[in-house]
Amino acid sequence: MRRVTGLLLAVVVLASFLHAQENDPGTLTLQRIFKDNEFRSERFGPAKWLATSEGYTTLDRPDSGDGFDLAKYAPETGERTILVPAARFIPEGASAPLSIDDYEWSGDGSKLLIFTNTKRVWRLNTRGDYWVLDLASGQLQQLGQGLEASSLMFCKFSPEGRRVAFVCKNDLYVEELLTGHRIRLTFDGSTTTINGTFDWVYEEEFQIRDGFRWSPDGKSIAYWQMDSRGVGEFYLINNTDSLYSKIIPVQYPKVGTTNSAYRIGVVPAHGGPTTWMKVPGDPRNTYVARMEWTGNSAELALQHLNRQQNTLQIMLCNAGNGAVRTLFTDQDSAWVDTVDDWKWLKDGRELLWLSERDGWRHAWLISRQEGNARCITPGSYDIIEMAGVDEKGGWLYFMASPDNATHKYLYRAALNGKGAPQRLSPMHEPGTHRYQMSPDARFAIRTFSQFAQPPVTDLVSLPGHQSLRILVANEKFKEKVKAVRQAPVAFFRVDIGNGVALDGFCIKPPDQQTGKKYPVLVFVYGEPWGQMVVDSWRGNQNLWHQMLAQQGYVILCFDNRGTPAPRGRAWRKCVHGKIGITASEDQAAALEVVSQWPFIDKERIAVWGWSGGGSMTLNLMFRYPQLYHVGMAVAPVTDGHYYDTIYQERYMGLPQDNPEGYTQGSPITFAHQLQGDLLLVHGTGDDNCHYQTTELLINELIRHDKRFTMMAYPNRSHNINEGAGTTLHLYGLLTRYLQEHLPAGGR
Give per-residue pLDDT as tens, 173-212: 999 999 999 999 999 999 999 999 999 999 999 999 999 9
Give per-residue pLDDT as tens, 632-664: 999 999 999 999 999 999 999 999 999 999 999
481: enclosing H helix or E strand: helix 475-483
The Cα diameter of the chain in Å comes to: 80
Asked if residues 55 and 73 have their Cβ atoms less than 8 Å apart, the reply is yes
Beta strands 518-523; 600-610: pairing state: parallel
Give per-residue pLDDT as tens, 676-711: 999 999 999 999 999 999 999 999 999 999 999 999
Q: What band does 28 get if pLDDT is binned at 50, 70 and 90? A: very high
Contacts of 56 (CB under 8 A, 6+ apart): 47, 48, 49, 50, 72, 73, 75, 438, 445
The pLDDT score that the predictor gives to residue 63 is 86
Alpha-carbon distance 579 to 137, whole Å? 58
Least confident segment among 65-74, 152-161, 331-340, 667-676: 65-74
- Residue 53 φ/ψ region, left for φ over 0, alpha for ψ in the -120 to 50 degree band, beta for the rest: left
Alpha-carbon distance 25 to 39, whole Å? 12
Asked if residues 153 and 100 have their Cβ atoms less than 8 Å apart, the reply is no
Look at residue 21 and tell me whether its pLDDT is greater than 60: no
Domain ranges in the chain?
Answer: 45-184, 488-541+552-741
The pLDDT score that the predictor gives to residue 253 is 98
634: enclosing H helix or E strand: strand 630-634
Q: What band does 410 get if pLDDT is binned at 50, 70 and 90? A: very high
The pLDDT score that the predictor gives to residue 82 is 95
- If one compares 4 and 466, the residue with the highest pLDDT of the two is 466
Amino acid, single-letter form, for residue 331:
Q
- If one compares 42 and 242, the residue with the highest pLDDT of the two is 242
Ordered DSSP codes for 494-538:
EEEETTEEEEEEEE--TT--TT--EEEEEE---STT-----SS--
Asked if residues 330 and 278 have their Cβ atoms less than 8 Å apart, the reply is no
What are the C-alpha distances in Å from 310 to residues 125, 241, 290, 354? 32, 44, 16, 15
Give the mean pLDDT of the chain: 95
Q: What band does 112 get if pLDDT is binned at 50, 70 and 90? A: very high
For residue 174, what are the β-bridge partners? 165, 183
488-541+552-741: CATH number: 3.40.50.1820
Q: What band does 489 get if pLDDT is binned at 50, 70 and 90? A: very high
Ordered DSSP codes for 306-339:
ETTS-EEEEEEEETTT--EEEEEEEE-SS-----
Alpha-carbon distance 435 to 424, whole Å? 11
Give per-residue pLDDT as tens, 521-568: 999 999 999 999 999 999 999 999 999 999 999 999 999 999 999 999
Look at residue 495 and tell me whether its pLDDT is greater than 50: yes
Q: What band does 58 get if pLDDT is binned at 50, 70 and 90? A: very high
Alpha-carbon distance 285 to 257, whole Å? 10
Look at residue 606 and give its three-state secondary structure. strand
What percent of the chain is predicted at pLDDT more than 70?
97
For residue 433, what are the β-bridge partners? 448
Residues 60-85: what's their mean pLDDT? 93
Give per-residue pLDDT as tens, 589-610: 999 999 999 999 999 999 999 9
The pLDDT score that the predictor gives to residue 51 is 79
The pLDDT score that the predictor gives to residue 12 is 47
The pLDDT score that the predictor gives to residue 54 is 83
Look at residue 430 and tell me whether its pLDDT is greater than 70: yes
The pLDDT score that the predictor gives to residue 7 is 44
Give per-residue pLDDT as tens, 237-293: 999 999 999 999 999 999 999 999 999 999 999 999 999 999 999 999 999 999 999
Homologous superfamily (CATH) for 45-184:
YVTN repeat-like/Quinoprotein amine dehydrogenase (2.130.10.10)
Residue of 487, 553, 490 lying closest to 735 (CA atoms): 553
Q: Give me the sign of the Cα torsion angle 10, 15, 19, 21.
A: positive
The pLDDT score that the predictor gives to residue 9 is 45
For residue 395, what are the β-bridge partners? 390, 414
DSSP assignment letter at 31: I
CA dihedral 231, 234, 238, 242 (to 10 degrees): 50
Contacts of 37 (CB under 8 A, 6+ apart): none
Q: Which long-range contacts (CB under 8 A, 24 or more apart) does 657-663 make?
A: 658/577, 661/577, 661/578, 661/579, 661/581, 662/255
The pLDDT score that the predictor gives to residue 65 is 85
Look at residue 20 and tell me whether its pLDDT is greater than 60: no
Q: For 381, how many CA atoms within 13 A lie in the half-sphere containing its CB?
A: 22
For residue 470, what are the β-bridge partners? 458
The pLDDT score that the predictor gives to residue 11 is 46
The pLDDT score that the predictor gives to residue 43 is 79
Give per-residue pLDDT as tens, 563-576: 999 999 999 999 99
At residue 451's C-alpha, the angle toward residues 447 and 457, to 5°, is 15
pTM of the predicted model, to two decimals? 0.94
Asked if residues 280 and 270 have their Cβ atoms less than 8 Å apart, the reply is no
Cis peptide before 463 (omega within 30 of 0): yes
Give per-residue pLDDT as tens, 307-325: 999 999 999 999 999 999 9
Q: What band does 53 get if pLDDT is binned at 50, 70 and 90? A: low
Give per-residue pLDDT as tens, 340-398: 989 999 999 999 999 999 999 999 999 999 999 999 999 999 999 999 999 999 999 99
DSSP assignment letter at 562: T
Same fold, 45-184 and 488-541+552-741: no
Look at residue 369 and give its three-state secondary structure. coil
